[in-house]
Every structure is written in C-alpha cells, then in structure tokens.
Amino acid sequence: MNLAQFLKFSGSYRLLGKLAVSRTDARAAYARQYLAVRPGQRVLDLGCGPADILSVLPDCEYIGIDSEPRYIESARTRYGRRGTFVCTPIEDFVVDAPGSFDVVMANGVLHHLDDQQAGTMLRLAAAAMKENGRLVTLDGCFLDGQSFIARALLRMDRGKFVRDEPGYLTLARQHFGSVQTDVRHDLLSFPYSLLIMTCRVSA
C-alpha cells in the first residue's frame, strides 16, 4: 500500500474527532497550546481530512491536503472561504513557495505510515517550513506503564505503525534539528496516550 492509500484513511478527523468527545474542549486546547497559529500566518495541514481543525484556528492562510475526495469536498463545503483544499497524494504535492509556512501540522497521520512513507512526509514538511517554522504532529503512542485499556485501544487502531516515543523521535530527528515531545493522557474522555511532537529545522 502506497502513501496515498495510507493517507486516504489517516485524515485528522479520526484522532481529532476523538478529542471532541473529551471532558474539555480538547481540540481548542490542542490548537491553542501546541499549534499556536497566529492570525495571518501560513499553515499547511498534511492529511487534513474534512479540515475540522479550522473550527479552532484564527483567520490564516490555510492549505489542507488529503488524498480522499470525500474529505476534501466536505472541507470545501464547510470551510471553502477559509482555506485552500487540495485533493492529491502527498508525494505528488508541490509546495508553491518552499520555506514559506509558519506552521505545518500532521494530526493523526504518522501512525498510519511506515518509516519510508513517514520520511517522505517529514521531508515535505521540512521543505515547506520557514526557517523559524514548526511542524506539529499528534499520534497515539505506546508507553511503559500505560494503562491496559490505553494499550489495548492503541493495538486496535487502524494505523498499523503506532510507535513508542523513541520510535517517533528517531523518525523526526532525521529531518529536524530540534524535536520536543509532550505525552498527554488527559485529552480524551477514555484512557488513551497521545504523543505531540513540535519539530523545528534548526536546533
């Protein structure tokens, strides 16, 4: 299965949809604390799904990419005036202006990609970002000592490449000089472990 086929099933709506049923407004908290998009910034969303993240972002120059036509059509219907939505496999996407994005995000995508496919996505993200830009990723993560329920749910995930924290870090550090991680167990209304990575090209 190629990268396009993986991304067809890895739209951010799946993981961020889980955040929506949290006891708090977790999607907004995630956007505020980690994405930290400021008005007018340029934002690239890899595996955007129906672009639900736009509901908690300020006005920005948003470009969402997904290979599934239904997700892109939904995004255009709901948020057509707020962003540009491109239906294409990620490996075929051409950044119109490399080094121009303030924030690149990949919500719930990496755990659907094998190492080679993840490398393709991470290289694209690094090339798209400004020198001081950021890539933010959000994925389920195996951890020592995590609850039995959380581990069982991760094993049942449709993504076949759920990793532990060192596994995600190894991938990201091949393309970024600085990688910060935060593990969250409190974003969902049921036991689940999420790893958020904030990646910068320069250390």
Say if residues 176 and 131 touch (Cβ distance below 8 Å).
no
Q: What is the mean pLDDT of the chain?
A: 89
Average pLDDT, consecutive stretches of 10 residues, N- to C-terminus, the chain (203 residues): 44 50 72 97 96 95 96 95 93 91 96 94 97 97 92 89 97 98 89 95 89
Strand partners, 179: 199
Contact 165, 195 (CB under 8 A): yes
Q: Which helix (H) or strand (E) holds 47?
A: none
* Domain parsing of the chain, residue ranges: 3-200
pLDDT of residue 125: 97
Residue pair 162/154 in contact (Cβ under 8 Å)? The answer is: yes
Helices (H), ranges, 20-114 = 26-30, 69-79
Please tell me the predicted confidence (pLDDT) of residue 96: 87
Give me the CATH topology for the region 3-200: Rossmann fold (3.40.50)
Token pair of 32 as six digits: 């505020």
Please give the single-letter amino acid code of residue 177: G
Q: Model-level pTM greater than 0.85?
A: yes
